[in-house]
Amino acid sequence: MSDTAQKRVHELEEVPIDGFHVVLLIGGRLGAGVARLTLVGPVLIGCVLAGCEHKAPPPAPPPPKVSVVTVQAQAVPITTELPGRVAGYRYADVRPQVNGIILKRLFVEGSDVKAGQQLYQIDPAPYQASYDSAIAADASARALWERYKPLAEANAVSKQDYDNAVASHLQAQAAVETARINLIYTRVLSPITGRISRSLITEGALVTANQATAIANVQQLDPVYVDVTQPITTLLRLKSEAAAGLLKKNEAGKAQVRLRLEDGTDYVHPGTMEFSEVTVDEGTGSVTLRALIPNPERLLLPGMFVREEIQEGVRQGAVLAPQQGISHNQKGEPNALVVDPDNTVELRTVVTDRAIGDQWLVTSGLKPGDRVIVEGIQSARPGAKVAPEEYRPADEKTAPPRAAAAEGSAK
C-alpha cells in the first residue's frame, strides 16, 4: 500500500459475521467517523454512516384545541313572550236613530270626546212639528178627560165614555213623549268617552234610523286591552304557575305583564293579565288571553302589533347553555358535546325548555360544572381527547389588556 493509501486508511480490521468476512476501514477520504464495509464472499460493498440509529416513527399529533363554556347553576327570571294586538277598552259605533239630513258636524276628527257630547245635528224641523202636534193633541185629550171626570162621578156620563177619555189622554201623553225623544235624537250624541274616528259622512248627507253603516266610532284608549292567542297548554301552565305563586304579581294580586313595541322599544307602563276570554277554538286548540294595559299617553292604538312579556317568576338552580353549543341530531333531539374531567369528549342528549337571550334553558342532560364545547366542534369526536380552553367572546379577544391601555393613556 502506498504512502498515500496509508494516509487515507487509519485502521483496517477484518471481522467475521455469520460466515462472511467483513473488512472494516475507518477514516480516509470518506472522512472521520465513516465506515466502509466489504463482505468477503458474495460481492457486496456498503457504506453506512458510523453511529446512525434506527429512524423512530413520527410523533402523534397533539389533541385538537376546543373552546368550552362551563355551565353553572343560577337564578334565572322566566318570562314568556307572546305576540298580540291592541284593542280598545270600549268601542262604540255612532249611528243615527232618526231619519234626516245632516246639518252640522260638531267635533274635530281624531279628538277626545265626552259621553253625551253632541257630534252631529240632524234637521230637527219635521220632528219639532211632530212634537208640537203631539202637544196639541195631548191638550185636547186632557181637556176631555177633565170635563168627563166630574160627570162620571155624578153618573152623568157612562163609565165607558169616561174610560175612553182617560185612554185618549194617556195615548196623547205617550205621543208627546215619542215626539220629544225623536226631537232629541236629531242631536247625535257620543255614547262613551274616548277618541273619535274620522267622520264617514258630511253635511247634507241623508241618514236613516238604525242604519247598518256607522257614521263614526268612538274608542276608549285608556286603558287598553292586548289580546294574544296561544295554545291551551300555555294557558294551563300560566294558571298552574299562578296557583303556585310563581307568577310575578302586583299589589292587587294579578299577574304582571310588560309590552315591547313593534320598533323594539319597551313600553314603560306594566299591565295585568286578565283570564276573561278563555274559550278554546275547536279548530286550532288555542285560546285568547287578554291583558289590561294603562295608556295615559295614548301611545297604544287599536290594531297595533306588540309583544307581550309575562313575568313567570325566578327559577332557582337553572342551567343555561350557549345556543352555539347545542345541536340537533337527525331525530331533531338536542344534544351537546361535553368535555369530561380527563379531557375526553362525550355526546350528551339534553332537554331544553326555552330560549333565554342567546342561551337555552336546559332542564335535563347537563349539570353544573359541565364543560360544553362551543368552538372547534368539527374537530371534536365523542371518545377523543381534546385540549379545552375557556371560551372568550370575540370582543374580549381583541380588546387590549387594561394595564397596557392604562400605560398608553399615561404616555
pLDDT in tens, 32-59: 444 444 444 444 444 444 445 556 778 8
Average confidence (pLDDT) over 170-198: 95
CATH code for position 302: 2.40.30.170
- pLDDT, position 396: 57
Q: Answer yes or no: is 408 within a domain.
A: no
Secondary structure of 159-199 as H, E, C letters = HHHHHHHHHHHHHHHHHHHHHHHHHHHCEEECCCCEEECCC
Residues 252 and 212 in one domain: no
| pLDDT above 70 for 106 | yes
Name the least confident of 19-33, 146-160, 343-357: 19-33
Average confidence (pLDDT) over 176-203: 95
Q: Which residues constitute the domain of residue 40?
A: 3-49
Residues 228 and 275 in one domain: yes
Residues 130 and 247 in one domain: no
Q: Answer yes or no: is 9 within a domain.
A: yes
Pairwise CA distance, residues 37 & 46, whole Å: 5
Q: Which of 315, 338, 354 is where one domain is finished?
A: 315
| pLDDT above 60 for 285 | yes
Residues 249 and 279 in one domain: yes
- Choose among 280, 273, 287: nearest CA to 226: 273
Residues 156 and 185 in one domain: yes
Q: Which of 263, 290, 315 is where one domain is finished?
A: 315
CATH code for position 209: 2.40.50.100
Q: Answer yes or no: is 369 within a domain.
A: yes
Residues 141 and 187 in one domain: yes
Structural domain tally of the chain?
Answer: 4
As given in the structure block, the three cell numbers for residue 344 are 375526553
Answering whether pTM is above 0.95, one says no
Helix axes 125-153, 159-185, angle to 10 degrees: 160
Q: Which of 185, 217, 249 is where one domain is finished?
A: 217
Q: Answer yes or no: is 56 within a domain.
A: no
Average pLDDT, the chain: 82
Q: Answer yes or no: is 129 within a domain.
A: yes
Residues 182 and 251 in one domain: no
Average confidence (pLDDT) over 65-76: 91
Q: Answer yes or no: is 100 within a domain.
A: yes
Structure confidence at residue 60 as a pLDDT band (50, 70, 90):
confident
Residues 270 and 381 in one domain: no
- pLDDT, position 218: 96
- pLDDT, position 366: 94
Residues 96 and 213 in one domain: yes
- Choose among 70, 71, 67, 72: nearest CA to 397: 67
274 forms bridges with which residues in the sheet?
290
Average confidence (pLDDT) over 116-120: 96
Which residue, chain included where needed, has cell 297548554?
Answer: 233
Average confidence (pLDDT) over 363-380: 91
Q: Give the pLDDT confidence of 306-325 residue by residue, as tens digits.
A: 999 887 777 788 899 999 99
- The secondary structure of residue 91, as a DSSP letter, is E
Spatial contact of 107 and 196, defined as CB atoms under 8 Å apart: yes
| pLDDT above 50 for 31 | no
Tell me which of 236 and 145 has the higher pLDDT: 145
- The secondary structure of residue 25, as a DSSP letter, is E
Residues 188 and 111 in one domain: yes
Residues 120 and 203 in one domain: yes
- pLDDT, position 37: 44
CATH code for position 382: 2.40.420.20
| pLDDT above 60 for 183 | yes
Q: Answer yes or no: is 57 within a domain.
A: no
Strand, helix or coil for residue 124: coil
Strand, helix or coil for residue 357: coil
Residues 31 and 129 in one domain: no
- What backbone phi and psi angles, to 5 degrees, belong to 269? -95, 120
Residue type for 171, please? Q
Q: Answer yes or no: is 285 within a domain.
A: yes
Structure confidence at residue 394 as a pLDDT band (50, 70, 90):
low
Average confidence (pLDDT) over 87-114: 95
| pLDDT above 50 for 136 | yes
Tell me which of 27 and 201 has the higher pLDDT: 201
Q: For the chain, give the percent of residues with pLDDT over 70.
A: 80
Average confidence (pLDDT) over 16-36: 46
Pairwise CA distance, residues 68 & 225, whole Å: 46
